[in-house]
Amino acid sequence: MTTLTTTPRSDGFSMPAEWAPHSKAWMVWPERPDNWRLGGKPAQAAFSAVAKAIAEFEPVTVCVSAGQFENARARLDHRNIRLVEISTDDAWVRDTGPTFVSNSGGEVRGVDWTFNAWGGFEGGLYWPWQRDDQVARKILEIEGCKRYRTEGFVLEGGSIHVDGEGTLITTEECLLNHNRNPHLNREQIEKILDEHLAIDKVIWLPDGLFNDETDGHVDNFCCYVKPGEVLLAWTDDQTDPNYPRCQAAMRVLESQRDARGRQIVVHKMPIPGPLHATQEECAGVDLSAGSQERDPSIRLAGSYVNFLIVNGGIIAPKFDDPKDAEAQAILQALFPQHRVVMVPGREILLGGGNIHCITQQQPAAYLSGTLMYELSAGACVV
Ligand code: KQY
């Protein structure tokens, strides 16, 4: 595998929007007992349901440890799901996998950001994280994709969303957090995003959702639904700690234009709950020094915005909540060309994220409007 010393922007590569065609989606099999209750068994059922839902629309590759291969293979019984053996620390491929970039010549490459488990030794969620930091490189190796490595620049894929037309949204709570890149200021971070994703404009929301243990990843709070239009998690309840966060985000979105000069249209998505883990759910998580505290008093950062766009479909979480039906209707109205599939998201939420966080799309390569994989079986045009 080649690691390049140039940047994607200088080589003519950019990050496509999530709705651009994919060649596949990636996932990692959960098993970490100090994050997933009951040795990961309920989470494995939840991840299997997500993988199978995606596999109805596009191929899925699931990374799995040697010890779990047999079990995962048996549970992921779908013709469109491939397993590869990769060692990981946990199962959040949105954050540990590569951010894929593509060019007009039909090539796909990957950005391998430095990963520090959402904050390293200042509020990070576990240690060690070295195997997770190697996930992007291993995926790029398997795919035969060239790699850009941002050694020393920490970023997780869940902390950014792009429109594919030069605009990126993120949160100050995460990207300006002192536990990510304390040596860089806002302008320096914007420059790195520009160089690696071909971004002309960064929209900085102040915060993400309340109690999001990632320090406010945008993918749990606000996402693009098309260029110039975003979907924002929303509450009108002034007593909800999310209320000032939603208001602040709305003020920013209403006051900014995107890279193409468009005023941004904001759609609202209700927040489920408030959701809390039960005593029984918390008791099922192994106690281990340095891992996340689990307690029924802690509000879970549940969000319907944490969905994945796949080829022809939307895979979104449901929570057995009265707002589930409204969330599905909102998504279906925003994506009339896609089939919205709601999959149980509670077990994934108990681990600290949701469907977008546990998946990573790999874009299909285009050459002059033709899907490259129709033309070639060569490396990295899959
Ligand atoms: O939501 C994510 N992108 C990752 C969450 C990590 C939680 C670990 N407990």
CB atoms within 10 A of CB 196: 22
Closest-CA residue, ligand 1 atom 3, reads 357
Closest-CA residue, ligand 1 atom 8, reads 352
Closest-CA residue, ligand 1 atom 6, reads 352
Closest-CA residue, ligand 1 atom 9, reads 352
Residue with tokens 């010890």: 67
Q: Which of 344, 342, 355, 350 is nearest to 301 (CA)?
A: 350
Predicted local distance difference test score (pLDDT) of residue 378: 45
Predicted local distance difference test score (pLDDT) of residue 290: 79
* CA 228 – ligand 1 centroid, Å: 28
* CA 353 – ligand 1 centroid, Å: 5
**CA neighbours closer than 13 Å in the CB half-sphere of residue 121:** 0
- Name the residue of 118, 127, 160 to mutate for ligand 1: max ligand atoms within 8 A of Cβ: 118
- Ligand 1, residue 357: give the atom nearest the CA: 3
Closest-CA residue, ligand 1 atom 7, reads 352
Dump pLDDT digits (tens) for 204-256. Answer: 999 999 999 999 999 999 999 999 999 999 999 999 999 999 999 999 999 99
- Name the residue of 36, 214, 282 to mutate for ligand 1: max ligand atoms within 8 A of Cβ: 214
Please confirm, yes or no, whether 357 is among the known catalytic residues. yes
Give the pTM. 0.96
* CA 90 – ligand 1 centroid, Å: 9
- Count helices and strands in the chain by DSSP H and E runs: 11, 19
Predicted local distance difference test score (pLDDT) of residue 370: 60
Peptide bond into 296 cis (omega under 30): no
Given phi > 0 = left and psi -120 to 50 = alpha, else beta, which region is 108? beta
Dihedral sign (CA 300, 304, 305, 306): positive
- Ligand 1, residue 353: give the atom nearest the CA: 1
Residues with CB under 6 A from ligand 1: 35, 92, 94-95, 125, 158, 213-214, 217, 292, 351-353, 357
* CA 214 – ligand 1 centroid, Å: 6
Q: Catalytic residue, from 63, 145, 246, 357: name it.
A: 357
Predicted local distance difference test score (pLDDT) of residue 292: 82
Cα Rg of the chain (Å, integer): 19
| DSSP label of 92 | -
* CA 140 – ligand 1 centroid, Å: 22
Secondary-structure percent of the chain, ordered helix, strand, coil, rounded to 5: 30, 25, 45
Cα–Cα–Cα angle for 138, 140, 142, rounded to 5 degrees: 70
- Ligand 1, residue 92: give the atom nearest the CA: 4
* CA 299 – ligand 1 centroid, Å: 15
β-strand pairing of 81-85 with 366-367: unpaired
- Name the residue of 159, 213, 347 to mutate for ligand 1: max ligand atoms within 8 A of Cβ: 213
Give CA–CA dist 296/200, Å, rounded.
Answer: 43
Query: Which residues of the chain carry a pLDDT beneath 50?
Result: 368, 374-378, 382
* CA 193 – ligand 1 centroid, Å: 22
